[in-house]
Chain A
């Protein structure tokens, strides 16, 4: 079974450009999470989505960042007008059940490393 797939693995953008990060969850998983990791730091929660719904976006910056998980296709994390401070590794994770975190872990992709020049 394929795990959580993220692409691209590496993304370089100039300041002011847009970055689009894609995440395909594990087969059968309908819950997607996005986390951001700065160098030598832990993962910071950004957003939790179910198909066509944003459940919790309490970790998303108020401006320039948006996320979606459409009925068909991968989840997309979009960063508009990127700045140098957006440089980080962005990880996607998925789970299967609505209350899966009671008993089940999250399954992570290998991340997208965004570099803003």
Chain B
């Protein structure tokens, strides 16, 4: 079964506020990745955090990973209307001949100007 459950399913905030999205997963992972999807488009990679890392920053993005709780969070600070999109976490399952990403259901973020 797919793993990676995002919470909340939908989030609506005002421009300038922070947005926090959470992701839980079930099995052991090599890394966890966050992606963004604008309506009608493909996914765009945002940030990758390895299983031995606890926190990572990229611009206005901050990702945490707690492998003991099998959870991750994505924080977008000082949100903008252009951040409106769906956000997905994905866990990397790697095996001898390669690997695959397993995606969660996503959080739909709406940032109102």
Interface string of A37-63 (1 = CB under 8 A from B): 000111111001010000110000000
* Distance A99 CA – B93 CA, assembled complex (angstroms): 10
Point out the residues of chain B lying under 8 angstroms from A107, CB to CB: 45
Interface size class of B (residues with CB under 8 A): 20 to 34
Indicate whether A91 reaches chain B with its CB closer than 8 angstroms. Answer: yes
A–B complex contacts, Cβ < 8 Å, 18 sampled? A40-B108, A42-B2, A42-B88, A43-B88, A43-B103, A44-B103, A50-B98, A56-B98, A93-B43, A98-B97, A99-B94, A99-B98, A101-B101, A102-B31, A102-B99, A105-B35, A110-B40, A110-B42
Indicate whether A22 reaches chain B with its CB closer than 8 angstroms. Answer: no
The 5 residue pairs across chains A and B that have the minimum distance between CB atoms: A105-B45, A108-B42, A101-B99, A43-B103, A42-B105
Interface size class of A (residues with CB under 8 A): 20 to 34
* Distance A42 CA – B35 CA, assembled complex (angstroms): 11
Minimal beta-carbon separation of B91 from chain A (angstroms): 10
Q: Chain B residue with minimal CB distance to A56? A: B100
Q: Give residues 70-117 of A contacting B (CB, 8 Å).
A: 91, 93, 98-99, 101-111
**Partner among B30, B45, B50, B94 whose Cβ is within 8 Å of the Cβ of A106:** B45
Q: Are B2 and A44 in contact (CB under 8 A)?
A: yes
Q: Give residues 71-113 of B contacting A (CB, 8 Å).
A: 88, 92, 94-95, 97-106, 108
Per DSSP, chain B at the interface is: strand
Q: Chain B residue with minimal CB distance to A106? A: B101
* Distance A43 CA – B103 CA, assembled complex (angstroms): 6
Point out the residues of chain B lying under 8 angstroms from A55, CB to CB: 97-98
Point out the residues of chain A lying under 8 angstroms from B48, CB to CB: 103-105
Point out the residues of chain A lying under 8 angstroms from B92, CB to CB: 101-102
Interface string of B18-57 (1 = CB under 8 A from A): 0000000000001101010000111111001010000000
* Distance A16 CA – B22 CA, assembled complex (angstroms): 41
Q: Are B42 and A33 in contact (CB under 8 A)?
A: no
Q: Chain A residue with minimal CB distance to B10? A: A40
* Distance A111 CA – B37 CA, assembled complex (angstroms): 12
